[in-house]
């Protein structure tokens, strides 16, 4: 699910702001961006995010502005030496090649931006603790933002389930006419072939019964009804239900396909197609649920 949250504050040394946003994703992916010197917060925030969320692509960033500070650019010599050695081991070109060196300089950790005082305050335990708590707060706000979207999404999905229930009820009524339609179709085919006079009544009855059994969709309709109730139970129960809803959508689609393949009338086929359209809408929303 999508969401955005921001928590900010000021201190005697300057100001800070945490921002967190999430977009839909089938798995969990957390990216944290913090100023130089606060690398320990990267691990802390990823661990905190895993406690709050189980699905989605999250981006969390910390911005710090030092009062009266001046932006600086510095090179981490140890990091640069390490990437140069790695480059020389795999490339015949010399690092003195300007293009190669320019690429190496873009590797994260080689060039550090910020200010001298940013790294100074990173060593203050009280500041690090305060920013860690603020990071927890921004994640909590993101949870609330995603919950608000989830409530709206749940209303949509309940609506899809209600529409499915109505369509299944219509299909149930149409399915009751299947044996009669099959009998009429067989009789018409025999009459067109002028074989109605050579096929005895018992053989005709057996063929009708066999065809009706193959076209019986009561099990599919019963399973669709059960799946609808399962969907409502999952939505009412809350929690991390995205994967379960994904699987449920697949089951809906399987039964709808079978309903269409067994249909003996255009009306029942249309009901099956309408059901498939509702299942697609349900599946689309399920992909956004945590």
**Interstrand relation of 56-66 and 14-23 (parallel, antiparallel or unpaired):** antiparallel
The burial of 3, by beta-carbon neighbours within 10 Å (0-12 exposed, 13-18 middle, 19 or more buried), is given as: buried
Q: What is the pLDDT of residue 197?
A: 55
Specify whether the backbone of 35 is left (phi greater than 0), alpha (psi in -120 to 50) or beta: beta
pTM of the entire predicted model: 0.57
DSSP state of 239: S
Terminus-to-terminus CA distance in the chain, angstroms?
7
Which residue's structure tokens are 């053989």?
Answer: 203
Q: What is the pLDDT of residue 107?
A: 76
Token representation of residue 60: 């969390």
Contact 60, 32 (CB under 8 A): yes
- Round to whole Å and give the CA distance between 232 and 157: 9
Q: What is the pLDDT of residue 73?
A: 63
Q: What is the pLDDT of residue 275?
A: 94
Q: What is the pLDDT of residue 279?
A: 93
* Consecutive 10-residue averages of pLDDT for the chain (290 residues): 87 90 81 89 91 86 78 68 74 62 70 64 86 93 85 89 94 82 67 59 61 72 93 85 88 92 85 93 82
């Amino acid at each position: 699910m999508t969401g955005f949250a921001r928590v900010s504050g000021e201190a005697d040394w300057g100001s800070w702001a945490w921002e967190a946003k999430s977009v839909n994703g089938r798995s969990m992916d957390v990216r944290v961006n913090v100023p130089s010197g606060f690398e320990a917060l990267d691990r802390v925030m990823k661990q905190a995010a895993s406690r709050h969320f189980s699905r989605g692509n999250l981006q969390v960033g910390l911005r710090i502005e030092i009062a009266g500070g001046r932006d600086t650019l510095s090179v981490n010599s140890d990091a640069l030496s390490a990437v140069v050695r790695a480059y020389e081991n795999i490339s015949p070109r010399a690092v003195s090649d300007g293009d190669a060196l320019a690429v190496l300089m873009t590797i994260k950790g080689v060039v550090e931006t910020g200010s001298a005082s940013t790294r100074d305050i990173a060593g203050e335990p009280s500041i690090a603790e305060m920013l860690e708590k603020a990071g927890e707060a921004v994640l909590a706000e993101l949870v609330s933002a995603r919950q608000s979207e989830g409530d709206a999404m749940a209303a949509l999905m309940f609506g899809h389930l209600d529409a499915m229930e109505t369509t299944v009820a219509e299909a149930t009524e149409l399915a009751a006419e299947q044996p009669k339609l099959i009998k009429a179709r067989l009789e018409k085919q025999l009459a067109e072939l002028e074989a109605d006079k050579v096929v005895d009544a018992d053989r005709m009855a057996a063929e009708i019964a066999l065809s009706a059994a193959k076209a019986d969709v009561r099990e599919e309709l019963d399973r669709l009804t059960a799946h609808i109730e399962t969907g409502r139970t999952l939505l009412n129960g809350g929690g991390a239900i995205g994967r379960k809803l994904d699987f449920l959508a697949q089951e809906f689609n399987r039964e709808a396909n079978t309903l269409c393949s067994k249909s003996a009338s255009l009306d029942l086929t249309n009901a099956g197609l309408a059901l498939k359209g509702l299942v697609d809408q349900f599946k689309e929303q399920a992909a956004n649920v945590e």
